[in-house]
Amino acid sequence: MFPQQYYQHVIRTPLVRYQGPLAPRSELWLKDETKQVGKSFKFRGTYHRLLEEAPETTVVTASTGNHGMGVSLAAQLLNLRVQVFVPAHISAVKAEKLVQLGANVEKVAGGYDECVQEALRFSRETGAPYISSLDDPSVVHGHSSLFREIREQAEEGLDSLLLPVGGGGLLAGCLECYQGSDMHIIGVELECVPSMKIALESNERVLLPPARSMAEGMLVRQAGVLPLERARAYPRFDVELISEEEIQHMLYLLWKHNHIRAEGAGASAVAAALRYLENHPGQRIAAVISGGNIDEEAFQIAVRKYRVEEASTR
């Protein structure tokens, strides 16, 4: 399904059991993409897409961080040049890594959707191919490799699978992999930016107001065209909304119980999975930890906060 060159660089990441307390008779398995190249699932799709470009080509993209890093990492391997448009409030660690990876980075006032407009303008003016994180079928197909691995690793099968949804690129890859199956897929969105949920309910891609969250990878105000099309067609797809507090708490729990250092978006599906098992005990489910690029300060704040809270209740 994937060329031999693909897995010379893409890592088959582990599916590990969550070690914290769960509802009775329940199992929670974690697909840990913090172990992927660039500490994010994004490299899967961007590397697959950039295999199509000739050396020395300049490509352009818009990103809140991880997608841009994925493009830049793939470009290094394939001798390409990268222009990335990022939000002005991008995480410091992600902005620094983009520069270290050799990308030409330009900050844009606003969020991801404003960055897309600037990237498309650059593409029109220069002819540089635009690498979409949401609607490029080749990028999405690369992301599907994550779920093909889960199907191989979860030998006894799963009852449900949860994953974070920003604009929906990862979701589109998931639904591609599980097309024709009866797997229950749950997309997890931020309470403040439920773009996919609203698009499904209203049957149109609504542009939501700007919002802020530590899960910056999920701050996409309008669902992608391809992800929405696939979500509409999949018979067992649901959306769960997650709060900022739940995400922050999950950062601590993942570190405490599994020693996994996730970013906000990366912890979101696991937080929703714990809540889901409380309401549906006895199930065997999996959640995708989509990435681990988090600022040191944000990570330490979460760890200290909940460590102190736990100590005070003993």
Print pLDDT tens along the chain (314 aa): 788 889 999 999 999 999 999 999 999 999 999 999 999 999 999 999 999 999 999 999 999 999 999 999 999 999 999 999 999 989 888 999 999 999 999 999 999 999 999 999 999 999 999 999 999 999 999 999 999 999 999 988 999 999 999 989 999 999 999 999 999 999 999 999 999 999 999 999 999 999 999 999 999 999 999 999 999 999 999 999 999 999 999 999 999 999 999 999 999 999 999 999 999 999 999 999 999 999 999 999 999 999 888 877 77
- Closest Cα to residue 298, out of 191, 221, 212? 212
- Count how many domains the chain has: 2
Amino acid at 170: L
Residues 141 and 179 in one domain: yes
Q: Do 94 and 170 fall within a single domain?
A: no
Same domain, 53 and 197: no
Cα gap 286→281, rounded to integer Å: 14
The answer to whether residues 153 and 252 belong to one domain is yes
Give residue 56's pLDDT: 96
Comparing C-alpha atoms, which of 33, 17, 60, 27 is closest to residue 164?
33
Residue 249 shares a structural domain with residue 181:
yes
Q: What is the pTM of this model?
A: 0.95
Per the structure block, which two tokens stand in for 24?
């009775």
Q: Last residue of some domain: 107, 126, 145?
A: 126
Same domain, 256 and 188: yes
Residue 1 lies in a domain: no
Provide the pLDDT for residue 156: 85
Same domain assignment for residues 15 and 94? no
Domain match, 291 and 161 both: yes
Out of 79, 98, 126, pick the residue that ends a domain: 126
CATH code of the domain covering residue 14: 3.40.50.1100
Determine the pLDDT at residue 202. Answer: 96
Among 126, 151, 186, which residue terminates a domain?
A: 126
Instruction: Let me know if residue 131 belongs to a domain.
Output: no
Domain ranges, residue 12: 6-40+136-313
CA distance 290 to 263: 8
| Cα distance between residue 210 and residue 223, in whole Å | 14
What is the model's pLDDT at position 289? 98
- On whether the CB atoms of residues 29 and 18 are closer than 8 A, the answer is yes
β-sheet bridge partners, residue 175: none
153 within domain boundaries: yes
Same domain? For 11 and 119 the reply is no
Is 154 found in the same domain as 115? no
Q: Which of 16, 36, 44, 53 is nearest to 129 (CA)?
A: 53
Residue 31 shares a structural domain with residue 62: no
The verdict on 104 and 213 lying in the same domain is no
pLDDT number for residue 240? 98
